[in-house]
Amino acid sequence: MTDKIIIESGRAEKNYWRDLWRYRELFYILSWRDIKVKYKQTVLGVLWVILRPLLTMIIFTFVFGRIANMDMHSAVPYSIIVFGGLLPWQFFSNALTECSNSLIGNERLITKVYFPRLIIPASSVITSFIDFLISLLILIILFFFYRYTPPWQILLMPIFWILVFFASFGPGLYLTALNVKYRDFRYIIPFIVQFGLFISPVGYMTSKIPSKWIWVYSLNPMVGVIDCFRWCIVKGAPNPFLNYPFYISMGVIIFFLVLSVYQFRKMEKNFADLI
């Protein structure tokens, strides 16, 4: 059997998704490369994956809990509440940053070889996702440290891992495509990440937001995601599925994902000429 490929200007390639499948090993190999390279020549190596969120969590617990007095003195240790938000947030911010720089960082590949370009940003999100999975270990350590038994919902957590993956992939994909053409986004992204931390319920619970404004607040896709993670970890946290803000966040996530894939496919053909 021979594969017939037709190349024409403006032709939406029918075999794009088939190619994506054919090159599926590239997802794995590019993420593997990024992980390998990231921790080469570091003394602590993969330990950094654990150390970074751990240190942030300690700072957060101190600043928000003690100084800003956000600690509600509930039955659940404040560190665990913070960590329930910090885990998905750190994944989101890492994935967004890595993803948006992924195409520029792989310029050589783009100008010299063909493969579906979608693989590059996707594998950079996979790389961050693996870091995220490793940092989940801290959560287990925290449970033991506080002798804390999580609620049964913790078993549902893997579903929300997938959710946070797509919540990060959507905007990341859009930003990386724009970054090829307008390098300004290199400077905009750190700002989005910094600002986003404050408009997401990381150091506090969503319940702190006045209910009048909750629908605006939920336009931030990470609000729904973090609420889900909290629900899995924190006893007595509200079930996100019962409240409408969750569905607003979900809508935004899906909207971004569809828009990004569409936009990426449109811009993809010119990457080699623009980069």
Partner 1 sequence: MDDTIIKVEGLGKKYLIDHEREGGYTALRDVISSRAKRIFGEKRATLSTKEEFWAIKDLDFEIKRGEAVGIIGKNGAGKSTLLKVLSRITEPTLGRIELNGRVASLLEVGTGFHPELTGRENVFLNGAILGMGRSEIRRKFDEIVDFSGVERFLDTPVKRYSSGMYVRLAFAVAAFLEPEILIVDEVLAVGDAEFQKKCLGKMQQVSRGEGRTVLFVSHNMAAVKSLCSTGIVLKNGRMDFYGSNYEAVQHYQNHNQSNTSFHHEGEVNLAPGNASIRILQMDVVPQEGEILSMNSGVEFRLKVFNSLVDRNLDVTFEVANNDDIIIFHQGVILTSGGNSKIGVYEVSCVLPKLFLNAGSYNIKLIFGENQRYLIYEVSSFLSFEIVQESAGSNSSRLPGVTFPELSFKVITP
| Residues that bind partner 1 in the complex, under the rule CB under 8 A | 2-10, 22-23, 25-26, 29, 33, 36-37, 40-41, 108-115, 181-185, 269-270, 272-274
> Which of 40/73 has CB closer to partner 1?
40
CB of 181 to partner 1, least distance (A): 6
CA 165 distance to own-chain centroid: 5
CB of 220 to partner 1, least distance (A): 23
Q: Could you give the dihedral angle defined by the CA atoms of residues 138, 142, 144 and 147, in that order, rounded to the nearest 10 degrees?
A: -160
Closest CA to 142 of 154, 126, 131: 154
- The answer to whether 161 and 126 have CB atoms below 8 angstroms apart is no
CB of 199 to partner 1, least distance (A): 23
Residues composing the chain: 275
> Which of 43/67 has CB closer to partner 1?
43
> Which of 15/56 has CB closer to partner 1?
15
Closest CA to 23 of 128, 160, 116: 116
> Which of 181/208 has CB closer to partner 1?
181
CB of 137 to partner 1, least distance (A): 26
> Which of 3/67 has CB closer to partner 1?
3
CB of 215 to partner 1, least distance (A): 30
> Which of 22/66 has CB closer to partner 1?
22
Dihedral sign for Cα atoms in the order 244, 250, 256, 259: negative
Q: 152: how many CB neighbours lie within 10 A of its CB?
A: 8
- C-alpha angle with apex 18: 14 to 24, nearest 5 degrees? 145
CB of 17 to partner 1, least distance (A): 15
Closest CA to 120 of 80, 54, 159, 172: 172
